[in-house]
Amino acid sequence: MKRDVIGQYKLPVEVRFCSRCTVSNQRPRISFDENGVCSACNFSDSKKNGINWESRHKELEVLCDKHRKNNGEYDVIVPCSGGKDGSYVAHQLKYEYGMNPLTVTWAPLKATQIGRQNLDAFIASGFDHVLGTPNTEIARKLANLSFRHLGDPFQPFIYGQSNFPLHMAVKYKVPLIMYGENGEVEYGGDMKNAYRPTRDIQDHDKHYFSGMPPEFWQEHGISLKDLYPFMAPGFKEIKSNKTEIHFYSYYKYWDPQENFYYCKENTGFTPNPERSQGTYSKYASLDDEIDGFHYYLAYIKFGLGRATSDSAHEIRDEKITRAEGAALVKRYDHEFPSRYYDIFLEYCDITDAEVHDVIDSWRSDHLWHKVDGEWTLKHAVWYESDQPK
Amino acid sequence: MGNLRIIARLDIKGPNLIKGIHLEGLRVIGPPSEYALRYYKQGADELIYMDCVASLYGRNHLADIVRTATKDIFVPITVGGGIRSVEDALDLLRAGADKVAVNTAATSNPELLSELAERFGSQCLVLSIEAKQVGVDKWEAYIENGRERTGLDVIEWVERGVELGAGEILLTSVDREGTRQGFDYNLIRLVSDAISVPVIASGGMGRPEDIVPAVCQGHADAVAIADLLHYKRATIGEVREVAKREGFTVRTYG
C-alpha cells in the first residue's frame, strides 16, 4: 500500500531547501518567504533583532505575579522529562522568579538509563515531581497501531506529553502551564503563535496528533477507559480551571545549547555517553529508546531526519555554518536506529518485514526513487544542485 | 622527570575556537589566532590545536590556522584532527606544526602510527586518546570528538600505540572535559605507569591547583588547559606559579 504523503500533510510537490539552514519546504506547516528563507530562520532573525527581551522579561514577571499563590500551593505546572529544556524552565521559574512549580513527566515509552538518571538528578536538585505512567500494555498497543496507521510509534507518548500536564493542572487547580520552546516557530511550522505567549488547546489535534486524538483508537478496539490517561481532560474542566498554556521561549531567548550549560551547572544534567543515532548530538532527546523511530519515520516521510532538525537550529543559533550543517545531514540523517531496533520490535510486537512494509508505504514518489536497487532521496540539502547560488 | 609542561589547548571547529562540556555543546569562543597569541605571550610551553570536525568532513582545516600562528608564535605546536595519512601529516608539518596528533584514523588503521613514526620520528607523533570511563579502573577509547565508541580498552590501546611508534600521549578524559572538576588522576596514573613515553593530561582543570594531583598522583608529564584559559579564569602565569610553589620544575619564563 502506498500512502498519500503529499495529501495527508499538505506538502508542496516541488522540493525546496531554505537558503540559510538545512530544512526544506517538506516540513509540515513551514512557510518560505520570497527569498527562499524558511519561517524558522526568519523567526530566528526577529529573536536576535526584533524582539525586546527586556520587555518580555517584564511580561514574565507580570505573569508570575498574577499566578503566584504564596499559600503553599503549586502555582505553575512545568512539563519536564529531566532533559536540558524543561529542567532549565523549572529551575528558572523556581529560583529566579520565586514560583512554586509542580514538575510533571509523562513517562517515556521505554526509558533509557541516562534519561532516568537525569530525571532523578533533576528532582534531587530541588523539585516536587509527578510521574504519569500509563498501562504499558495499552501504550504498546497504541505504539503498534500508530506505527501501522500513522507511521509513527511515538504517538502514545505525544498524547500524554500534551495531555498529562493538563490533567495535573486541573487536578491541582493550577491555571498556568509553562512549556519550554514553541516547536512550531523554533523548528518551522504554524506561525500563528510566534508573537504571543500562549497556545490554543484546540491546536493539539492539528499540531501534535496528526488530526487523530486518542479517542480515535476506539475504532481499533481500545476501550475508552484504557484510553483515558492519554486523553485530555474535558474541555469544560480545562476552561473552568482558566488553564493557560505558555511557552518559555516567548519570554526568554531560546538557545538549546545554553540550556545544556545551565542544566549542567544547576540540575545535575549529564549528556549521553555517545551520540544518538540519526544525529550528532549527545544532549538532546535522550530519554526514550523508541523515539529514534519517530525521527526516522520523519526522515522517510519528509526527507528530513534528526540531524536536519538539530543542524538547522544550530545554524540559526550561529553555532555552525550551513556547509557544516549539510555535511552533518549527509552523514547522519539517514542512519537507521539499529541500537534499539530489537527493543522496538519487541515493544511494538511487530516483525522486521512488517516494519519495512510500513516504512516503504510512506516513501513518497516525489522524494524517493531507487538507484541501483537502493532507496535514495531525490533531493537532499547536500546535493550540489540544491545548494544556493 | 623533565620540566612539567604547561600547554594551552585550542579546539577548533570551522573558523572558530570552541569549547564544550564532555566534548558536547560546543560554544563558539572566538578567533583562534587571538587566543593562541595571548597564551603564547602568557608563557605557554606548547600549543595544541585540535580540529574537532575534521573527521566529519574527511579533511583537515587547520593548515591555514597553523600557518598564520607560526608567524608570531615560537613554541612547539601540536596539531590534530582528521589526519589519515602520511600526506595529511606532511601538510601540517610543512605549515609549521612540530607534532601531529592522531586518534580516529589510528583506531581503524593502527599501522598509520608506524608509518608516521618511521617517516617523521616518534618525537613528532602524538596519540590522542578520548577516554570514557566504563567501569572501575576501566576506560574505553572514543573517537570523533567523544561521539563514537571503538570498543578499545584505553590501557591496551596506548600500550599498542606506543609499540607502534607514538612518542607521546594526549589523554583526554571525556568524563571530566569541560566540567572544571579537576583531572581524573586515577586514569592519568594508570596510563602513565603503563608506558614509558610522556603523557599530557587533559580534561577537567578548574583551577590552577588542579595540576598538583595530576602530577603527584597521576604522574602526568604535561597538562593541557582549555576552559580555564578561554573563560579567563586564570592565566598560564598563575598555573606556573602554583607549579613552582609545589616544587615542580618548569621552564623559566620571562
CB B147 within 8 A of CB A288: no
Beta strands in A150-226 (DSSP E): 176-179, 198-199
How many CA atoms does the CB half-sphere of A80 hold within 13 Å?
35
Query: Is B84 within 8 Å of chain A by CB?
Result: no
Query: Given this model, what pLDDT does residue A193 score?
Result: 77
Query: Given this model, what pLDDT does residue A388 score?
Result: 45
Residues of chain A with Cβ-Cβ distance to B13 below 8 Å are 320, 324
Residues of chain B with Cβ-Cβ distance to A268 below 8 Å are none
Query: Given this model, what pLDDT does residue A196 score?
Result: 78
Catalytic residues of B: 11, 130
Chain Cα centroid distance, residue A331: 22
Rounded mean pLDDT of B150-179?
98
| Residue A184 one-letter amino acid | E
pTM of the model: 0.92
* pLDDT tens per residue across all 389 residues of chain A: 799 999 999 999 999 999 999 999 999 999 999 999 999 999 999 999 989 999 999 999 999 999 999 899 999 999 999 999 999 999 999 999 999 999 999 999 999 999 999 999 999 999 999 999 999 999 999 999 999 999 999 999 999 999 999 999 999 999 999 999 988 888 888 887 787 777 776 666 666 666 788 999 999 999 999 999 999 998 889 999 999 999 999 999 999 999 999 999 999 999 999 999 999 999 988 899 999 999 999 999 999 999 999 999 999 999 999 999 999 999 999 999 999 999 999 999 999 999 999 999 999 999 999 999 999 999 999 996 444 43
Number of A–B residue contacts, CB under 8 Å: 49
Strands A128-132 and A368-371, bridge-based pairing: unpaired
Q: Residue length, chain B?
A: 254
| Best residue of A269, A318, A320, A329 to probe chain B, by most B CBs closer than 10 Å | A320
Q: What is the DSSP letter of B168?
A: E
DSSP element (H, E) containing A225: helix A224-227
Q: How far apart are CA B230 and CA A53, in angstroms?
A: 28
Q: Residue A257 is nearest to which of B27, B132, B148, comparing CB atoms?
A: B27
Q: Which residues of B6-39 are buried (b: 16+ CB within 10 A; e: fewer)?
A: bbbbbbbbbebbbbbbbbbbbbbbeebbebbbbb
Please report, to the nearest 10 degrees, the dihedral formed by the alpha carbons of residues B149, B150, B153, B158 taken in order: -120
pLDDT, tens digit, for every residue of B37-95? 999 999 999 999 999 888 777 666 789 889 999 999 999 999 999 899 999 999 999 99
Tell me: pLDDT of B1 over 70: no
| Best residue of A113, A267, A282 to probe chain B, by most B CBs closer than 10 Å | A282
| B56 with A321: Cβ contact below 8 A | no
CA distances from A43 to A33, A80, A252 (A): 12, 25, 14
Query: Given this model, what pLDDT does residue B54 score?
Result: 83
Beta strands in A108-238 (DSSP E): 128-132, 176-179, 198-199
ipTM: 0.88
| B22 with A275: Cβ contact below 8 A | no
pLDDT, tens digit, for every residue of B15-50? 899 999 999 999 999 999 999 999 999 999 999 999
Please report, to the nearest 10 degrees, the dihedral formed by the alpha carbons of residues A274, A278, A279, A282 taken in order: -30
- Rg over alpha carbons for chain A, rounded to the nearest Å, is 20
Q: Name residue, grid cell 545531514.
A: A329
Q: How far apart are CA B244 and CA A73, in angstroms?
A: 57
| A260 with B24: Cβ contact below 8 A | yes
| Residue A216 one-letter amino acid | F
Give the residue ranges of DSSP H helices in A234-380: 235-240, 248-251, 256-266, 291-302, 306-316, 322-332, 341-348, 352-361
Query: Given this model, what pLDDT does residue B59 score?
Result: 65
Q: Name residue, grid cell 608506558.
A: B195
CB B22 within 8 A of CB B174: yes
Report the mean per-residue pLDDT for chain B. Answer: 95
Rounded mean pLDDT of B127-134?
97
| Best residue of B147, B174, B175, B177 to probe chain A, by most A CBs closer than 10 Å | B147
Q: Which residue of A has its CA nearest to B20?
A: A261
Rounded mean pLDDT of B203-225?
97
Rounded mean pLDDT of B134-152?
95
CA distances from A10 to A6, A7, A30, A301 (A): 5, 5, 11, 12
Beta strands in chain B (DSSP E): 5-13, 16-21, 24-30, 46-51, 77-80, 99-102, 125-135, 138-143, 148-153, 168-173, 199-202, 222-225
At B3, is the secondary structure helix, strand, or coil? coil
Interfacial residues of A (vs B; Cβ cutoff 8 Å): 257, 260-261, 264, 270-271, 273-275, 280-283, 318-321, 324, 327-328, 331
| A261 with B28: Cβ contact below 8 A | no
At B197, is the secondary structure helix, strand, or coil? coil
Q: How many Cβ atoms from other residues are within 10 Å of residue A13's Cβ?
A: 9
